Each structure stands twice: as C-alpha cells, then as structure tokens.
Amino acid sequence: MEPHRERAGRHLKKGRKRRRGPNMLVGAAEAMRARWELEESQPEAKKARLSTILFAENCEVTHEQLCELLKYAVLGNSNVSKPSWCQLFHQNQLNNVVVFVLQGMSQLHFYRFYMEFGVLRKAFTHKFRLPPPSSNFLADIIGLEKKQTTGDLSKMVEGSLPSTSSKVSISLQNAPIIQKYGSKKVGLTRCLLTKEEMKTFHFPLQGFPDCENFVPTKCHGSITDNSPLFGLDCEMCLTSKGRELTRISLVAEGGCCVMDELVKPDNKVLDYLTSFSGITKKILNPVTTKLKDVQRQLKALLPPDAVLVGHSLGLDLRALKMIHPYVIDTSLLYVREQGRRFKLKFLAKAILGKDIQCPHRLGHDATEDARTTLELARYFLKYGPRKIAELNLEALASHQELLAAGQGPRNTAEVVQQSNTSVLECLDLMGQKLLFLTREAETSELSSSRNCQTIKCLTNKEVLEQARVEIPLFPFSIVQFSFEPFSYKLTEEMNKRMRSKWTEMSTVYAGPFSKNCNLRAVKRLFKSFGPVRSMSLVLETHQPHLCIQYEVLEAAQLAIESLDGILVESTCIKVQRPVTELTLDSSTLVKELEQDSENRGTIYLSGVNQTFKEHLLQQSNIFLGLEAVILPKDLKSGKQKKYCFLKFKTFGSAQRALNILKGKDWKLKGRHALTPRHLHAWLRGIPPESRRTPGVRVIPPPSEQQALQVLKVDHPKIAAWRWGRKIGKLYHSLSPGTLCLILLPGTKSTHGSFSGLGLMGIKDEEESTTPKICS
C-alpha cells in the first residue's frame, strides 16, 4: 500500500502508479471470480474498490478473515493471499487504511438506533456481521498472537539482519561508529549534525555567501529526543545554471508520504539525468509547480522542531535552496573508515533487508529513498552504535558475495508466507508504522507492540481531535472510541423489542372482507407479494380481516402500496401495519431504509422461479449496470425461495430494470429493497420465543426510560447520533483512496454475547459493473 501523494493529476512515470448468502448457482461463482481476476488485470482501472457482494455465509466475517483483508490492503497480491470473503480491486491504488472501533457497541446498537446512525449508514456501502468479540478484539483483527510480544517482534527484526563470518570480525572498539558515538544507545539530539559538521560537509547555512537567496524553513523550536523526523529526498536535472530541482518527496515518521511534487526548473534543461532521477521531458512538460511553490509548501508542512533526515542531505537542501538547522545525514550517521560513505542502496540491503534503486526500474524513487533514510535513522536510534558495529558493514561492503551467498536478510515473501504474520509485521516490512489512538483506560496488546505509535487520550473528544491531526501522517491507523455498554439484562430486553419491531413492521392487517368472499383467492393475492410466515383470519371485528406476517419487510411494504384502498368483491379494503409504539415511526423508517447506501440500487422481486433465473442469465445484457443477483434459499429444505434481490450500479439502472420486470413480459411484483443483506440474514433466524402477537403494547423498562432522559454524552443512543456524525465528517475529510472500516465489535459477558457489525468502504470508490450471482 502506497502512501498518499498529491500530484495534481500528474504521474511520475509509466507503470509507477500507487499502488455465502449460502450456495451459488452451479459454475457461477467460478465464472465470476475468473471475470474479477481478468478485470483486476486491466490497466485502465484508476481507483481501488471493493466488491459489492461478500462471499460470507450469512454475511458473518470472522476476525481472522478481517485480518486477511487488512494484510492484503498493506502488502497486496504479490506477497499475501487475497481475502477469502471479499474482493479488493487495485490494491496498489490504496492510499491509507483507517479503522474506527466503537468499543461497547454491537449490531444491536446499530439497528436499535438506526435513525441516529444516519450519516454512517448512508456513507458506507458494505456491511457485514461480526462474531461476538474475544477478550482482545484488536489483537485478533491485527493478527497478534498471545505469545507474540514486543520481544518477539524485535527478534524477528534482528533475525532479518545479515550475518557475518568470524573471518571478517573486527575489534568493536576500533570501529569508526564506536569511536564517534560510543557503544551505548544514543538519543536523537546526539545524531544531529553540529554547525561545524554542517559547515565541513557544505550544508547551506545562514549568512554564508553562497546562500544569500536561500529560504530558511523557520524551524527554530526546541529539539528533544522526541522531536518528529521527516525523511527528505530530491531528484535533480542539469540546466544551463547547474543542477536544479525536478522532484521532492517528504515522508513523515509513520511512513506516510506527506509531500511528493514534480518541479519545473527555472532554466533550460540540458540533461534530465533520467537514469538517476527517472524524470523525462514528457513528464515535466505539463508541470507548472516551481521552486518557490515547494519552498512555501515545505515551510507550511514542517513543525518548529522538525528534524530532516536524508542521505547526502546537503545536496538536497541546496537543490531546494533552503536552510534547515536540524538534520540527520545517514551517509554520515553510519560512519565509514577514512571519511568514505556507504551508499544508500547498500545500507538499505545490509541494515533493513530491502532492495531499492533496482536496475530494472527507470531511475530512483524519491519517496522510497526518503522512507529508507527515515528507517535507517530509526534503526540507529533503536539498536545503537554497538549493534551496527557488530554487523561489520565495512567487510560486507567489500565482500558483496556474502549477500549473494544467502547470508542476507529475509525478504518480504519469506516473512509473509507464515500463516501467523500480523498486520504489524506487514507494515514493518514496508518501513511503516501503525497509529493507535485510544482512551487511557483501555488496555490492549497493541499498545506495547514495537511497530505501533500509541497515543492515549483522556476522552473520546480528545481521541477525535488527535485523529484529525495524526491520521494523514500514517498509512495505517486504528482509532478506538469507548462507550459504556448497556447491562446484559437491558441489552437482552432491547434485543427482544428490536426484533419485535421488525416483526411488526413485516405484518399487515387487511380488511374488511365480505363474509362470502373467496378467501382462498385473497390469500393467494397476498402471498404473491412475498414469502408468508403466517396468515390468520381475524373474527373479532364486525367483518372478517386477515393478519399476514411476511418473512421480509419488502413483501409487507409492497402489499400495503399495492392493495391499500382497492376493491375486493365490491368492498374497499384497507391494508396497514398494526399501530403500536414500535411501529409509530414505520413510515419514516421505511424512507430511511430506502436511502441506506446498501439498498440504493437494489430491487426486490417476488414471483421468481427457476425459469426466471435462467432467463435472467441469458438476457442479462438488457439490464444495464446489473452487479449481483441474490437468490435466498430455505434454511431447512434448501429449496429456492420465490423472491430475490437484484443489485445495480446506480439507482437509475435499478429503476429501469424494475419497470421492465414489472411489465407484461415478466409479470413480476417488486419494489426497491429495504433490508440490507446482513440484516435479512440475521432476522431470518429470529427465535420463535422472541416474537409476540402484533399489537401488544410494550413498555420500555424504567431503567431505559431513565437512561434516555439523562441523555449522557456517552449513552449509546446519543453517542450514535453525535459520534456517527463526527466520524462521518472525519471520513469525508480523508484522502481519496482510503480504505475505511467502522467496527462495532459486539459485547460479551458471563450472561451472554451479542454479535458485532462492520461497515466498510473506500473513499471515492469506483463501483463495479461486473454482475455477480449468489444464493
């Protein structure tokens, strides 16, 4: 996963873009997967996107499967297997991954306070159920095993260092790095170049005659060992006035690229130095950014105590024509004998185990080089001079055959082939860190992990404020909000009432009917709108009525819209839901369900049979934008039900298809969908004891009435509205190409457990046009 880059529509070089409902129809899954594979290989696709149909039984995604997706989002197809439950297309176009965790909330909270979660349910197209959480939910979704501690990760890193034979061992006390820094670990301030050293190595300095027109960064804050590091690398070309800047890359300490700009030289270009810079005349022709623009941008980006890290950094600062007082130069940090310097490519391989500046690529990657210098500085600070002296870099540089003989570090593929590889290890292989924002009171193994930048806050509000600032600086972020969960007794009662609400909304009363009417024909009429769970005759009234309880909400709504007010054997009948406190807002809720992002573009059809399915497959070309066909089956018999859902790319495509399918050629009944697929799967499994006779009054227990009157900020009802809006606003501020997940982990106690819910989407996602078929 590549960090975010802003290029105003420019590309640096070609090829360097940043990079089951149950059973399916026979052969359909394989065919569709093959089509997806073909589609992913197409070069014209520009944006990362997710599939619209999740290949998960009953739409439940395990924590291990969630970890699969996160690892794939970090490393991509070349190093880890694709997630087994969904499709992520064009992973190399992802810019960031952000996971929001709403600790203390569950799927029940989401649908109990469905109206309050309006912003999130409209923003995220993909929703799925999560199993009840374990004791450490975060460790599960990141892939941290209980046995894995900070020490284990350190051993992994240490194990990746090159080994040397005893024949080339040297006296550590004579090592140049020990003579300069000593054998103990040093802090950041000790690694900074002094003013005398900067003068010796020709860094631009204030007041020097050759720096008269240079621009200072105005970073004059107090430097500490906790000051932020920024990796910097520049590419130059040769002009009539000497070397001039053509590209600048700046990488924050988390590994995220915060600046990557092409720059148009002020003077005539004599040599683009393409073999080093990768820059060509064609690439620079449309560029309008000038040196003064990047100078202004760099000054705005750097905090007062920023420390710049680079390799031969003086040359980069001179190309920028800027002066900065706090620098770490990795070509001088890793001291070599007789004043010579190690090449960045060599240090990257010997210290970090990574190959950069590969010969098959055209020129250097400035972002990759900037990130590498940052990693080298972090390694030095973590392990100290003695560890580096033990590597005997001088001997390794003189004996490259040691690396060729297999004594070099483990590569990415060797690490990720292990099934227990965590997301943290994947990030470490990319030279990146994970950002973890949480409350002080929360504990997690994640907080103590080596490759994790943990920031603990006192309140949810502070977590949100920190997230706005820190998320853009890290390629992978986990932001955890903590809410007080309901008691188990109250949660169980709320669960029963919520399920009763959906049951009542799926129930209709119809009548009056004449005593001599053909009830069999009337029942057939109501059954034509969808699967019926029960149908009974009501004789308490002067004239007979029918009570019909449908299996799906769409069938009940369709019956109301189609039959209310019609004449049945000369009698005008009324079709309506039972009126209780649970159905008072049903009309509003139905409208909101239609606007749910997962329902937009999806239609419900009743009256389908096997002929319909075959006909649809044969003539799918007449339904433009068809993406998926969802064909539910009876859980007990396995037989195909007589209704289905069709998902289209746009609302307009769905409307056109609905008009066709309700026409004379197809003669089906249908409307726009109301029930998201994961919710439908959940509601299908309602236990009989949780249902009640429609119309019976339910009074919320005093405990909830009191809780809602108090309206505490962290009460789930208020939190749903307040924090749903705040997180939604933060999501809309993220950079395009950001994979974002909202996780309500679920709740678990000694009394019982409740499933969680996940919402997922990619900012500015480009939707698929490939139909997928599942049942």
Q: How confident is the model at residue 631, as a pLDDT?
A: 82
Q: Domain tally for the chain?
A: 4
Q: How confident is the model at residue 286, as a pLDDT?
A: 93
In a domain, 163, yes or no: no
Flag whether pLDDT at 157 surpasses 80. no
Flag whether pLDDT at 311 surpasses 90. yes
Q: How confident is the model at residue 347, as a pLDDT?
A: 92
d(CA 410, CA 414): 6
pLDDT (mean) for 563-587: 90
In a shared domain, residues 242 and 139: no
Flag whether pLDDT at 48 surpasses 70. yes
Q: Are 277 and 363 in contact (CB under 8 A)?
A: yes
Say which DSSP state 406 is in: I
Q: How confident is the model at residue 399, as a pLDDT?
A: 58
In a shared domain, residues 432 and 478: yes
> In terms of pLDDT, which residue wins out, 758 or 486?
758
Flag whether pLDDT at 446 surpasses 80. no
Instruction: Kindly state the tokens that stand for 523.
Output: 């029942």
Say which DSSP state 397 is in: H
Flag whether pLDDT at 217 surpasses 90. yes
In a shared domain, residues 318 and 209: yes
Q: How confident is the model at residue 113, as a pLDDT?
A: 85
Element of type H or E holding 511? strand 507-511
Flag whether pLDDT at 716 surpasses 60. no
pLDDT (mean) for 193-212: 90
- At 488-535, the pLDDT tens digits run 777 778 778 888 888 999 999 999 998 888 889 999 999 999 999 999
Least confident residue range of 155-169, 181-195, 643-657: 155-169
Instruction: Kindly state the tokens that stand for 138.
Output: 């975060």
In a shared domain, residues 331 and 439: no
Flag whether pLDDT at 50 surpasses 50. yes
DSSP 118-172: HHHHHH--EEEEEPPP-S-HHHHHHT--TT--HHHHHHHHHHTSPP--GGG---G
Flag whether pLDDT at 150 surpasses 50. no
- At 410-422, the pLDDT tens digits run 444 444 555 568 8
Task: Give the CB-side neighbour count of residue 316, counting CA atoms within 13 A.
Answer: 26
Flag whether pLDDT at 308 surpasses 90. yes
In a shared domain, residues 370 and 437: no
Share of the chain above pLDDT 70, in %: 79
pLDDT (mean) for 393-403: 62
- At 628-656, the pLDDT tens digits run 788 888 777 878 888 988 888 888 999 99
- At 226-238, the pLDDT tens digits run 999 999 999 999 8
In a domain, 23, yes or no: no
Q: Are 450 and 150 in contact (CB under 8 A)?
A: yes
- Looking at the DSSP bridge assignments, the partners of residue 545 are 538
Listed residues 667, 685, 703: the one ending a domain: 685
d(CA 52, CA 305): 46
Domain interval for residue 51: 46-143+422-485
d(CA 408, CA 764): 41
Q: How confident is the model at residue 58, as a pLDDT?
A: 56
Measuring CA to CA, which residue among 205, 260, 207 is closest to residue 232? 260
What per-residue string of b and e applies to 277-298 under the rule 16 or more CB within 10 Å gives b?
A: bbbbeebbeebebebeebbebb
How many C-beta atoms surround the C-beta of residue 501 within 10 A? 21
In a shared domain, residues 350 and 496: no
Q: What percent of the chain is helix, strand and coil (3-state, nearest 5)?
A: 40, 20, 40
> In terms of pLDDT, which residue wins out, 747 or 205?
205
- Looking at the DSSP bridge assignments, the partners of residue 239 are 242, 269
- Please report, for the domain that includes residue 531, its CATH number: 3.30.70.330
pLDDT (mean) for 544-572: 93
Q: How confident is the model at residue 108, as a pLDDT?
A: 85
Residue with tokens 């529509």: 9
In a shared domain, residues 299 and 354: yes
What per-residue string of b and e applies to 591-609 under the rule 16 or more CB within 10 Å gives b?
A: ebbbebbbbbbbbbbbbbe
Least confident residue range of 25-34, 523-532, 612-621: 25-34
Flag whether pLDDT at 404 surpasses 70. no
pLDDT (mean) for 91-107: 90
In Å, what is the CA distance from 5 to each residue of 11, 256, 366, 428, 473? Answer: 10, 9, 12, 20, 12
> In terms of pLDDT, which residue wins out, 676 or 182?
182
Instruction: Kindly state the tokens that stand for 493.
Output: 């009662």
The letter for the amino acid at 63 is H
In a shared domain, residues 535 and 655: no
pTM, two decimals, is 0.61
Instruction: Kindly state the tokens that stand for 179.
Output: 């003579």
Flag whether pLDDT at 106 surpasses 80. yes
Instruction: Kindly state the tokens that stand for 541.
Output: 């009234």
d(CA 568, CA 511): 9
In Å, what is the CA distance from 379 to each residue of 161, 301, 351? Answer: 11, 25, 8
In a domain, 737, yes or no: no
Q: How confident is the model at residue 741, as a pLDDT?
A: 95
Measuring CA to CA, which residue among 403, 382, 381, 404 is closest to residue 392? 403
Could you tell me the sign of the dihedral formed by the alpha carbons of 122, 123, 128, 134, in that order? negative
Flag whether pLDDT at 165 surpasses 80. no
- Please report, for the domain that includes residue 258, its CATH number: 3.30.420.10
In a shared domain, residues 199 and 327: yes
Instruction: Give the pLDDT band of residue 141 (cuts 50, 70, 90).
Output: very high
In a domain, 86, yes or no: yes
Instruction: Give the pLDDT band of residue 293 (cuts 50, 70, 90).
Output: very high
Flag whether pLDDT at 277 surpasses 80. yes
Residue with tokens 């399918």: 661
643 alpha carbon, distance to own chain's centre:
33
Q: How confident is the model at residue 324, as a pLDDT?
A: 96
Listed residues 663, 685, 707: the one ending a domain: 685
Instruction: Give the pLDDT band of residue 770 (cuts 50, 70, 90).
Output: very low
Instruction: Give the pLDDT band of residue 464 (cuts 50, 70, 90).
Output: very high
In a domain, 749, yes or no: no
Listed residues 621, 653, 685: the one ending a domain: 685
What per-residue string of b and e applies to 161-190 under the rule 16 or more CB within 10 Å gives b?
A: bbebeeeeeeeeeebbbbeebeeeeeebee
In a domain, 294, yes or no: yes
In a shared domain, residues 56 and 84: yes
d(CA 16, CA 605): 45
In a shared domain, residues 432 and 571: no
Q: How confident is the model at residue 391, as a pLDDT?
A: 84
In a shared domain, residues 206 and 290: yes
pLDDT (mean) for 556-571: 92
| Mean model confidence pLDDT for the chain | 79
Q: Are 677 and 772 in contact (CB under 8 A)?
A: no
Q: How confident is the model at residue 771, as a pLDDT?
A: 45
Instruction: Give the pLDDT band of residue 273 (cuts 50, 70, 90).
Output: confident
Q: How confident is the model at residue 708, as a pLDDT?
A: 45
Q: How confident is the model at residue 483, as a pLDDT?
A: 85
In a domain, 543, yes or no: yes
In a domain, 334, yes or no: yes
Instruction: Give the pLDDT band of residue 152 (cuts 50, 70, 90).
Output: very low
How many C-beta atoms surround the C-beta of residue 502 within 10 A? 20
Whether the link from the prior residue into 204 is cis, omega within 30° of 0, is no
The letter for the amino acid at 756 is G
Least confident residue range of 124-128, 187-191, 419-423, 535-539: 419-423
Q: How confident is the model at residue 109, as a pLDDT?
A: 85
Q: How confident is the model at residue 683, as a pLDDT?
A: 63
pLDDT (mean) for 290-314: 94
